Amino acid sequence: MSLPDKAFPVSWDQFHRDARALAWRLAGLNQEFSAIVCITRGGLVPAAIISRELNIRLIDTVCIATRHDYVNQGDTMLLKGISPELLEKGGEGILVIDDLTDTGKTAIEVREMLPKAHFACVYAKPKGVPTVDTFITEVSQDTWIYFPWDLGFTYQEPIAKGSRG
């Protein structure tokens, strides 16, 4: 497995700020959301932050596993669907949250379940941008985002190799 050329490590503080920025942007839409459906696992943390900021108490999950490595995203597998009462109106008034849209495969799969929902994520790559309605930060397609729940504290090489202080 080859590592990506560009790495974008995100700290807990930065992720929290970015998720709150997403909440601000969503609040500015002047749209009432009755529930959040978060795409697990990545959508769990931003959904918690956004649910607090927008005072949305009803939260459901859609659990989709994606087989991928640093370069390719593979097939998806639905592990748990959305509760039937949230599916009733095609997603009207529902906010779908994820941490990242990469290729958009997962968002497309969920959008088929909730075609009228509003899709939002914290980070987006160019291939995924058309599949979401709202996001905060776009990164290049060849960038690998390291989320805080995936990281430990270690030394980081400088971007320009061979320049140590």
Give 75-84 contacts, CB < 8 A, sequence gap 24+: 76/105, 76/106, 76/109, 78/109, 81/113, 82/37, 82/113, 82/114
> Looking at the chain, how many residues does it have?
165
Residue 133 annotated as catalytic: no
Contacts of 88 (CB under 8 A, 6+ apart): none
pLDDT tens for the chain, residues 1 to 165? 556 678 999 999 999 999 999 999 999 998 999 999 999 999 999 999 999 999 999 999 999 987 655 555 567 889 999 999 999 999 999 999 999 999 999 999 999 999 999 999 999 999 999 999 999 999 999 999 999 998 877 777 777 766 555
Residue 39, pLDDT score: 97
Residue 76, pLDDT score: 83
Instruction: Tell me the residue type at 19.
Output: A
Residue 13, pLDDT score: 97
Residue 13 annotated as catalytic: no
Q: Which listed residue (18, 69, 98, 133) is catalytic? A: 98
Q: Is 136 known as a binding-site position?
A: no
Residue 142 annotated as catalytic: no
Instruction: Tell me the residue type at 36.
Output: I
Residue 72, pLDDT score: 58
Q: Which listed residue (60, 75, 99, 142) is catalytic? A: 99
Q: Is 133 known as a binding-site position?
A: no
Note whether residue 136 is domain-resident.
Answer: yes
Instruction: Tell me the residue type at 155.
Output: Y
Note whether residue 83 is domain-resident.
Answer: yes
Residue 73, pLDDT score: 57
Q: Is 90 known as a binding-site position?
A: no
Note whether residue 163 is domain-resident.
Answer: no
Note whether residue 160 is domain-resident.
Answer: no
Note whether residue 154 is domain-resident.
Answer: no
Provide the CATH number for the domain around residue 27: 3.40.50.2020
Closest CA to 123 of 140, 135, 134: 135
Note whether residue 157 is domain-resident.
Answer: no
Note whether residue 1 is domain-resident.
Answer: no
Q: Is 145 known as a binding-site position?
A: yes
Q: Is 125 known as a binding-site position?
A: no
Domain that holds residue 34: 6-149
Q: Which listed residue (102, 133, 142, 150) is catalytic? A: 102
Domain count along the chain? 1
Note whether residue 164 is domain-resident.
Answer: no
Residue 4, pLDDT score: 67
